[in-house]
Amino acid sequence: MVKLLLSSLRISLLFMLVCGLGYNLAVTGIAQVVFPEQAEGSLIQDEEGTVIGSKLIGQLFTEPEFFQSRVSSIDYQADGSGSPNFAPSHPELLGRVGASVEDWKKNNPEVAVSDLPVDLITNSASGLDPDISPAAARAQIPRISRLTGIEQLQLERLVQDQTSQRTFGFLGEPTVNVLGLNIELQRLLMEETQ
């Protein structure tokens, strides 16, 4: 019986080392070699080398002259992701969407609520989606143009340049990374002031 117990303990320890440590080290090492940028979090740095965000994690943009991200039910806290799985009739969801629509009407009087893309008032499954649809970006152009003085046509070109197409031409939908879009908008604003 003792021999069987020691044998079971040795096998358990071996599998803990192989599966718990060895596998993780191997996968991390391969990722660092094959996909170094993604393994480091797809971080975006400014000219001074300061990390300002990640291409993969959504951020909150509160300044009205910048493009806004999707609503986050977890306040963009990247240490955990997820969203409440409320039914469309749930009072809390209806209240949050109603508040988002009212904010939209107040801040974007140039665009009718009927033209409001749904991804600007709903959150993604993770609550951390860094992308919006091209329609959601274009819907914000009148507000940004009004607040910055940049022509709408120039902002439209900016959105078009920052739009990522479907993977392999048929998977997913076109998207716009909000952080990347706002970085380019900030560059435009700095050029305008110089």
Q: Where does the chain show beta strands of DSSP type E?
A: 43-45, 51-54, 131-132, 163-164, 175-177
User: What digits encode the pLDDT tens for the residues 50-59?
Assistant: 888 888 888 8
Q: In DSSP terms, which residues pair with 175 in a beta bridge?
A: 164
Structure pTM? 0.78
Helical residues (DSSP H) of 88-140, grouped into ranges: 91-107, 134-139
Give the integer Cα–Cα distance in Å for 65 and 62.
9
Q: Which residue type sits at 26?
A: A
- Do 118 and 74 form a contact (C-beta atoms < 8 A)? no
Indicate whether 13 pLDDT > 80. Answer: yes
Largest CA distance in the chain: 82
Indicate whether 172 pLDDT > 90. Answer: no
Give the integer Cα–Cα distance in Å for 85 and 74.
13
